[in-house]
Amino acid sequence: MRVGLVGFAGSGKSTLFQLLTGVAPDPGKVHAGQVGVAVLHDPRLDFLATLHSPKKITPATVEFLDTPGLVPGTHGDNPQRLALIREGDALLVVLNGFTADNPAAELNAFRDELLFADLSVIANRVERLEASVKKARPDREASQKELEIVKRVQTALEDGATIASLELTADEKKPMRSFGLLTDKPQVILVNQAPDKPLDPALVALAPEALAIDAKLELELAALDPEERAAFMSDMGLTDLGRDRIIRAAYDAVGMITFFTAGEPEVRGWNLERGGSAVDAAGKIHTDLARGFIRAEVTAYDGIHAAGSLREVKAKNLQRLEGKDYIVKDGDVMFFRSSV
């Protein structure tokens, strides 16, 4: 799972990439998309560590892909740049609020570019399918079915609706999965602007969950030692930083949840796709653990936190046994029994 940093060129994506991942953008790499890993700050991990005093603490992470961004008004004439955006499982749309002043218009323009790109992919597919249903081929019926769906999608996109709004079933969506349709990807909207600037109401109307950050300023602050940073922040009247909030929003958007393993050697956060089962979780740790899966011992983090100590967790009998098909919840602390 990967979050694409997207938007128009010059909106601050590479600056943000460095802030989130700590990886300096390499101008030689951006055209192929540069990948970096961001640590997900999670206070639950810190609390579990106070209980176990582990030798090692390992947080969950999320991968970001820096992309070169689109050039405004080129309407789909950006095949390489669009291909990189397609690689994102979710899109972090970065809007320029430091040299431009209309983030709502910028977001609309960017979404139009995505829509335009999807329409051209869909139009191509319609054309191919229309040709293929005319021939007496064994897959004609399947092609006919797909053609109906793809045409519905085409009409929706032409009306400016999103694919998500069609509420297609997983089966109906299946043939389109390989297209990497851009308007079907979850989006996090972020405006890159001075910290004392209020969010543009027109942007909030378009994207109620929109976030703001001053990427350049935060990058400069990140380079300071903690004392200096605190002094600067108080001078500027800044009470918190946006970095961790953005990583969290991206993590949620891409559809990941965290389960924990906790013991004396290591307390660790692990990624799992939302909806994943106990055996999927075991497989994140090791394929053997999934292969030999017997049972998972599961304790909900909130229960542990309320109990306050390992002894209380035991006394309250908070741990339960779950089988293979148990759907893991965000915050589950898990231990796997395996026969391998």
Ligand X SMILES: Nc1nc2c(ncn2[C@@H]2O[C@H](COP(=O)(O)OP(=O)(O)O)[C@@H](O)[C@H]2O)c(=O)[nH]1
Which residues here bind Mg ion, judged by CB under 5 A? Answer: 13-14
CB nearer to ligand X: give 9 or 126. Answer: 9
The span from the CA of 24 to the CA of 138, in Å, is 53
Of these partners, Mg ion, ligand X, none, which one is at the site of residue 48 (CB under 5 to 8 Å by kind)? none
CA distances for 311 relative to 199, 213, 234, 269, 307, angstroms: 47, 42, 41, 22, 8
Return the residues of window 189-208 that contact ligand X according to CB under 6 A: 192
Question: Considering the rule CB under 6 A, would residue 67 count as an interface residue with ligand X?
Answer: no
Of these partners, Mg ion, ligand X, none, which one is at the site of residue 34 (CB under 5 to 8 Å by kind)? none
The residue ranges of DSSP E strands in the chain, in sequence order, are: 2-7, 34-39, 56-58, 61-66, 90-96, 187-192, 211-213, 256-262, 266-273, 293-300, 320-322, 332-338
Closest C-alpha among 57, 64, 58, 67 to residue 21: 64
Check if the beta carbon of residue 295 is closer than 8 Å to that of residue 332. no
Question: Considering the rule CB under 6 A, would residue 184 count as an interface residue with ligand X?
Answer: no
Question: Considering the rule CB under 6 A, would residue 215 count as an interface residue with ligand X?
Answer: yes
Of these partners, Mg ion, ligand X, none, which one is at the site of residue 98 (CB under 5 to 8 Å by kind)? ligand X
CB nearer to Mg ion: give 14 or 277. Answer: 14
CB of 34 to Mg ion, least distance (A): 9
Return the residues of window 10-39 that contact ligand X according to CB under 6 A: 10-15
The span from the CA of 293 to the CA of 336, in Å, is 7
Residue 275: count of CB within 10 angstroms of its CB = 10
Of these partners, ligand X, Mg ion, none, which one is at the site of residue 242 (CB under 5 to 8 Å by kind)? none
Size of the site for ligand X (CB under 6 A): 13
Give the CA radius of gyration of the chain: 23
CB nearer to ligand X: give 33 or 276. Answer: 33
CB of 94 to Mg ion, least distance (A): 9
Tokens in use for 287? Answer: 């394929």
CB of 185 to ligand X, least distance (A): 18
CB of 225 to ligand X, least distance (A): 22
In the complex, the residues that contact ligand X under the rule CB under 6 A are 9-15, 69, 98, 192, 214-216
